[in-house]
Amino acid sequence: MRTLIKQATIVTMREEEPFVGDILIEGDTLARIGSAIDEPADEVIRGEGMAAMPGLINAHQHTPMSLLRGFSDDLRLMEWLKTKMLPAEARMTPEDIYIGAKLGMAEMIKSGTTAFADMYIHMNEIALAVQETGMRASLSRGLVFVEDDGGRRMKEALDLIERWTGKAEGRITTMLGPHSPYLCPPEPLAEVIALAEARNIPIHIHLAETVEEVVRIRERYNRTPTEYLVDTGMFDRAHVLLAHGVHLNMKDVRLLRGMRGGVAHNPVSNLKLGCGIAPVCALTGQGVTVGLGTDGAGSAASVDMFEQIKAASWLQKLDYGDPTKLPARQALRMATVESARLLNLDDRVGTLEIGKKADLILIDLRKPHLQPVHQVESLLAYSATGADVDTVIVNGKVLMRQRRLLTIDEEELLREAQKRAKRIVEGL
């Protein structure tokens, strides 16, 4: 299958400036990118008035939480978690997880996300939804070690890795997912790290999302959460995706220098839950990779990555009182290049370049809020929304064309999601 995109404004997220040109896709791969490509193709997509850029990459998600959107807003994180989220999640069946994940993926596709990192339970159902929808994903079974479960969670984590790594035409990769320092004591966490090192499997873990977590770890171990993880040897032994990283002091930031992986910044969720502002500029100043995630829709309300791009940039400008901080291009790179590094997929996706996988989106610039076009990267970072995404391609396959989903029955999905969500939250 050969697909030719003609005369789009191409934003490669590499060093070159945006330019008008063509993109040729052969199978699942970007075959040619240039000002004019005159070759036969099975499908020609007209790109005039469109911006073509790498698909956005959501570096931290809990997709089934889409079923819990808007049912527990305006609460503090621990109250939100204990009184609303955990009781609701306890009612979710594997079929609910599948539908919730699929709803989250429908929203991601419609807002330009092509790949994501997920941590949750019932991961086989989530993997099945990834396989069916055509998205790319790095999946991890969340691991909590606060009570003895007879090794069930670890068994499920290993089953996910063995069953799904490399499946769905290579679109699924896997990680180990110890939930957080405060839910993972030293001994079981050491076992996870040893397994990650032995099998060369990345780790996905929450870090320092709240002040309460910092206080709890200080009382328990006389360490910051970052120091606690450093003492385990995690950063020396594995590629690590750290979700949040809000409450890091400068010593913590320096301790992360040189790590494989980096931090997934979730600005909208952090803002909505009043968690704080992550030290993004301090981290990048130490050479730490910082990508972007949404967190689950239960906290963030939306998984539109264009919201994250705006919020990330504006928060740093506000925090420093300096409008030059985290400029448009850097914010876009966080949602593409840097997030790809966090998922350990930067050799495959994150930029538009020959030989990489054909994961890209077309954004319709022919709208009042996207005109005139002076600097397209500024428009994409500060003016565009997920609703401006016209076409989504993953692994060379068109998942959405002219805003119509091609791999999901949207109407049926919305009916099923509404029915299940009502049952899950009733009485809570």
Integer distance in angstroms from the first to the last C-alpha of the chain? 50
Of the candidates 233, 285, 288, the one whose C-alpha atom is nearest the C-alpha of residue 263 is 288
| Residues 204 and 229: beta-carbon distance below 8 Å | no
The pLDDT of residue 107 is above 90: yes
pLDDT over 90 at 388, yes or no: yes
pLDDT confidence of 63, banded at 50, 70, 90?
very high
Q: Read off the pLDDT of each residue in 191-198 and give the average, rounded to a whole number.
A: 97
Q: What residue ranges of the chain are covered by domains with CATH 2.30.40.10? A: 2-54+355-405
Q: Which one of 2.30.40.10, 2.40.110.10, 1.10.3720.10, 3.40.30.10 gives the CATH number of domain 2-54+355-405?
A: 2.30.40.10
Instruction: Summarize pLDDT for 164-179 with one digit per residue, the tens.
Output: 999 999 999 999 999 9
What pLDDT is recorded for position 79?
A: 86
Average pLDDT of the segment spanning 360-364: 98
Work out the average pLDDT over 220-242.
Answer: 98
Locate CATH 3.20.20.140 in the chain. Answer: 56-342
Averaged pLDDT for residues 84-104: 95
pLDDT of 75 strictly over 90? no
pLDDT at 80: 83
| Confidence check: pLDDT of 230 > 90 | yes
Which pLDDT score, from 0 to 100, does residue 319 have? 97
What CATH class has 56-342?
Answer: alpha beta
Query: For the segment 137-157, what is each residue's pLDDT rounded down to a tens digit?
Result: 999 999 999 887 889 999 999
Confidence (pLDDT) at 427:
86
Angle subtended at Cα 194 by Cα 190 and Cα 200, rounded to the nearest 5 degrees: 140
- pLDDT value, residue 226: 98
Give the pLDDT confidence score for residue 299 in this predicted structure. 86
User: What span, in angstroms and rounded, lies between the C-alpha atoms of 173 and 230?
Assistant: 25
Q: Which whole number is the average pLDDT over 295-315?
A: 96
pLDDT of residue 72: 83
Average per-residue pLDDT in the chain? 96
Residues 11-38: tens digit of each pLDDT: 999 999 999 999 999 999 999 999 999 9
Output the pLDDT for position 76. 82
**Cβ–Cβ < 8 Å for 227, 252:** yes
**pLDDT higher than threshold 80 for residue 77:** no
pLDDT at 293: 98
CA distance 89 to 102: 16
Q: How many CB atoms lie within 10 A of CB 196?
A: 20
